[in-house]
Amino acid sequence: MAATSADTNDTLQARRVAAIPRGLASSLAVFADHAENAALWDVEGRRYIDFASGIAVLNTGHLHPDVKAAVAAQLERFTHSCFQVTPYASYIELAERLNALAPGATPKKTIFLSTGAEAVENAVKIARAHTRRNGVIAFSGGFHGRTIACMSLTGKVLPYKAGFGAMMPEVFHVPFPMAYPRCHARAFSGSAPDAVQGEHRSCACRGNHHRARARRRWVLHCTPGVLAPTARPLRSARHRPDHG
Ligand SMILES: Cc1ncc(COP(=O)(O)O)c(C=O)c1O
């Protein structure tokens, strides 16, 4: 049943609790009815400013006219073909545009995936296939998604990992290198030297010195990525001869 004028936030919350597992948590018990640009109205007609914007993925705001027109135009042509079965030009065109925007002089290629977790999983697969190495370094405090591999990469144990059993092996967490040591995120982060040392420690603690040679540094963009990492530890690892 879609939302009707009889629905309130309370009635929808009761239906949600009965129909949807509590493991899928929501930040608010406020149910969206419609939205425009940065404003969002709930089912009771209250207006909010939508600072959350789908966790910062709605840069255009709600119902941008160009986005609406592009969706409408696509739905006049075909709904879904699966690029792996029947490819289409707009996939290639978007990849070309992103490749042109990506920094650096090397040639670029792009793959589109359905979710953030799928993107992270495939980044790890691509890195492993290319380097023939297993290890992945991730930042403590980061969040990477809800699959087993992404949960393993996630740096926070509570609430994301507790109770879910064994994690993927060969994941090494280091402090996030950031330039704001007094900020509230300090508990999950460290200075640039901390991050370099943390990487050594994470191997040493596990008795995995030999693994250090078998690892490839992967900088996985994660939730604390809103704080730009300082470049030094990344460069330091890049230029160490045992990190191919
Ligand atoms: C930083 C970050 N990485 C990965 C994910 C996982 O994305 P998805 O929920 O689309 O799998 C999210 C969102 O939940 C995220 O915020």
Short-list 82, 195, 74, 207, CA closest to 138: 195
All residues at 6 or more sequence positions from 52 whose CB lies less than 8 Å from its CB, including other chains: 27
Contact between residue 144 and residue 150 where contact means Cβ atoms under 8 Å apart: yes
Interval between CA 146 and ligand 1 midpoint (Å)? 8
* Ligand 1 pocket, residue 222 CB under 6 Å: yes
84-98 pLDDT, tens digit per residue, is: 999 999 999 999 999
| DSSP label of 138 | E
56 or 137, higher pLDDT: 137
Ligand 1 nearest atom to the CA of residue 114, by list position? 10
- Counting ligand 1 atoms within 8 A of each CB, the residue from 160, 223, 226 with the most, and so the one to mutate, is 223
- End-to-end CA, the chain: 56
Ligand 1 nearest atom to the CA of residue 55, by list position? 16
242 or 73, higher pLDDT: 73
pLDDT for 36: 97
Q: Is 123 helix (H, G, I), strand (E, B) or coil?
A: helix
Question: pLDDT at residue 42 above 90?
Answer: yes
* Ligand 1 pocket, residue 123 CB under 6 Å: no
User: Which tokens is 124 given?
Assistant: 């790890």
- The amino acid at 197: Q
Distance CA(238)–CA(56), nearest Å, equals 30
Interval between CA 144 and ligand 1 midpoint (Å)? 6
Ligand 1 nearest atom to the CA of residue 223, by list position? 1
Q: Is 93 helix (H, G, I), strand (E, B) or coil?
A: helix
CA angle 148, 149, 155 (to 5 degrees): 100
User: Which tokens is 141 given?
Assistant: 């405090």
3-40 pLDDT, tens digit per residue, is: 667 899 999 999 999 999 998 999 999 999 999 999 99
pLDDT for 177: 78
Residue nearest to atom 13 of ligand 1 (CA): 145
Q: What is the pTM of this model?
A: 0.75
Question: pLDDT at residue 83 above 50?
Answer: yes
Question: pLDDT at residue 156 above 50?
Answer: yes
DSSP string, 184-201: GGGGGEE-HHHHHHHHHH
196-233 pLDDT, tens digit per residue, is: 455 444 433 343 434 444 344 444 444 544 666 766 66
103-122 pLDDT, tens digit per residue, is: 999 999 999 999 999 999 99
Question: pLDDT at residue 139 above 60?
Answer: yes
pLDDT for 180: 61
Q: Looking at domain 9-62, which of 3.90.1150.10, 1.10.10.60, 3.30.2130.30, 1.10.10.1100 is its CATH number?
A: 3.90.1150.10
Interval between CA 150 and ligand 1 midpoint (Å)? 9
Distance CA(165)–CA(147), nearest Å, equals 13
Domain residue spans in the chain? 9-62, 134-239
